[in-house]
């Protein structure tokens, strides 16, 4: 009953109407206890069609507002997020099972990207380009694109929406959000905060930001509707392959943030104290349910025993449990029973191939028999085989020895995904090679930190089966706009490019 009271207090506190989370047919369960905490109503096909139509109308008004004025709206939204950070962060923990500092950290990401986007609203720069023709000038402009569909996963239920939404809004685009069906309550809370921002801002068109709750069929409608020129989708590689093909059929744009089988290399010169802390967070934080979680660890033979022995001590002592009951808990539950059973299947396969497994069993929490807490698994593998080559969304870390740096680098790159990576070394030759064109083939390559914990200032995303999408910082904003190249003739003659002659009259 305590969780129900918490959910009521948070949702009503930010202005979510009670009928939005009580009385619907879709059950929402907290992974912390396994209990039902809400019942939400799914959108139906007619309401989805209507919402997209309203978003299309909003685009016609929003695109005409000067970009700095659009940035002012995002600034107001950031203020609302700051005011609700504690409550929204707690709701993230209730709905996903993250520890409280991670729940609050996710909301901080939302605030940070709003700050970034406010500045960006005055920096949507084009170019002046030298023309080969006399008395001609070329220029490049960036114009708003249209309604943006955002499909998010359960593990970052609000941050990923904000990475897209804050940029899209300052770029002149309305947003239509289909959250994970496992985490709709955080989306409803954000929807209420957006509504508050709209009321304070004044002049924002209806349909500027929409939440559509439901299953796969809602996402499919967003993907297939020609009025939505861009869809940003976060999820599995299998999901991304379907989404990418369907968007390509109608020549729409895709931002795909898919799987990550992330690795770190620990070199002989590494600072093992630093590496130990970084590896522990990257491997067991969020119960291994980050797309950037550390899955594979290559350790040089000279340091292998020393590091792995210390890792085993960490794994044996890390506190597991309900993060709402203790501030010392570092590992919460898996999202559901499906994730737990998949983890057990993968560990059984690793054992058959000679893997030595420490941990991985269910962690009994008597008050919560319907929840799925597990001990993080450390698996010493004889090589990069079997389940090591696939991503499992659970706290499983495969550890392997290496002797030659080039060998480790080749193994590092020998997976289908290419999201995040890191190296622990003080050898400048190893570090620079890892970051070079001949090094890590991932979209993120870190030195002396783990592969997880990206900042919003840099573009986030990966290569290969990770999908190639980029979100958040750097020039990721360009995906939400259309480019126009214009040539202006301010002379009296009409010289043609490339010296072409075409005389008439």
φ/ψ (deg, to 5) at 252: -90, 165
- DSSP labels for 182-208? T-HHHHHHHHHHHHHHHHHH--PPTTS
d(CA 482, CA 223): 19
Cβ-based neighbour number of residue 64 at 10 Å? 9
Distances (CA, A) of 453 to 128, 164, 292, 407, 420: 37, 18, 8, 27, 10
d(CA 213, CA 157): 13
Scan for tokens 């600072």, then name that residue.
271
Alpha helix (H) residue ranges in 202-335: 216-224, 237-249, 272-284, 301-317
Q: How open is the CA angle 470-471-476, to the nearest 5 degrees?
A: 75
d(CA 503, CA 114): 55
Determine whether 257 is an active site residue: yes
Within 8 A by CB and 6+ apart from 247, the residues are 223, 231, 253, 254
Residues 257, 380, 391, 430: which is the catalytic one? 257
Name the strand (E) or helix (H) holding 445. Answer: strand 444-447
Length of the chain in terms of residues written: 505
d(CA 162, CA 107): 9
Handedness of CA 7, 10, 12, 15 (dihedral sign): negative
Q: Which sequence positions are flagged as catalytic?
A: 257
């Amino acid at each position: 009953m305590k969780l129900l009271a918490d959910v009521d207090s948070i949702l009503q506190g930010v202005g979510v109407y009670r009928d939005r989370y009580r009385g619907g047919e879709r059950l929402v369960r907290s992974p912390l206890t396994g209990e039902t905490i809400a019942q939400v109503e799914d959108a139906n096909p007619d309401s989805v069609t209507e919402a997209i139509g309203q978003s299309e109308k909003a685009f016609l008004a929003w695109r005409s507002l000067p970009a700095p004025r659009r940035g002012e709206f995002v600034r107001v939204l950031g203020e609302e997020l700051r005011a609700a950070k504690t409550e929204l962060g707690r709701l993230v923990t209730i709905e996903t099972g993250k520890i409280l500092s991670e729940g609050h950290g996710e909301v901080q990401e939302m605030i940070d990207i709003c700050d970034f986007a406010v500045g960006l609203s005055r920096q949507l720069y084009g170019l002046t380009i030298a023309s080969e023709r006399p008395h001609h000038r070329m220029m490049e402009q960036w114009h708003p694109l249209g309604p943006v569909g955002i499909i998010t996963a359960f593990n970052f239920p609000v941050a990923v929406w904000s990475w897209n939404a804050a940029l899209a809004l300052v770029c002149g685009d309305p947003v239509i959000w289909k959250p994970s069906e496992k985490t709709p309550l955080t989306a409803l809370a954000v929807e209420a905060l957006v509504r508050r921002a709209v009321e304070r801002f004044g002049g924002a068109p209806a349909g500027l930001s929409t939440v559509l709750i439901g299953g796969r069929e809602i996402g499919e409608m967003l993907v297939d509707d020609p009025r939505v020129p861009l869809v940003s989708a976060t999820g599995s590689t299998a999901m991304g392959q379907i989404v990418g093909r369907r968007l390509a059929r109608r020549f729409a744009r895709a931002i795909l943030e898919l799987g990550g089988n992330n690795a770190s290399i620990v070199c002989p010169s590494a600072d093992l104290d630093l590496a130990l802390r970084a590896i522990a967070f990257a491997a067991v934080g969020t119960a291994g349910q980050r797309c950037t979680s550390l899955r594979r660890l290559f350790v040089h033979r000279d340091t292998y025993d020393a590091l792995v022995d210390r890792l085993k001590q960490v794994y044996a002592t890390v506190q597991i449990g309900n993060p709402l009951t203790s501030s010392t808990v570092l590992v919460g539950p898996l999202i559901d029973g499906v994730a737990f059973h998949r983890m057990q299947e993968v560990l059984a396969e690793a054992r058959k191939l000679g893997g030595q497994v420490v941990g991985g069993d269910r962690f009994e929490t008597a008050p919560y028999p319907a929840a799925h807490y597990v001990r993080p698994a450390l698996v010493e593998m004889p090589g990069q085989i079997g389940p090591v080559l696939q991503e499992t969304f659970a706290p499983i870390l495969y550890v392997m020895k290496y002797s030659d740096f080039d060998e480790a680098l080749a193994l590092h790159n020998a997976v289908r995904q290419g999201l995040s990576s890191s190296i622990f070394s003080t050898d400048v030759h190893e570090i620079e090679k890892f970051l070079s064109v001949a090094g890590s083939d991932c979209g993120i390559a870190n030195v002396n930190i783990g592969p997880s914990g990206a900042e919003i200032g840099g573009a986030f995303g990966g290569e290969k089966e990770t999908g190639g999408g980029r979100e958040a910082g750097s020039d990721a904003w360009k995906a939400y706009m259309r480019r126009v190249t214009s040539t202006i003739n301010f002379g009296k003659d009409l010289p043609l490019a490339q010296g072409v002659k075409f005389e008439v009259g």
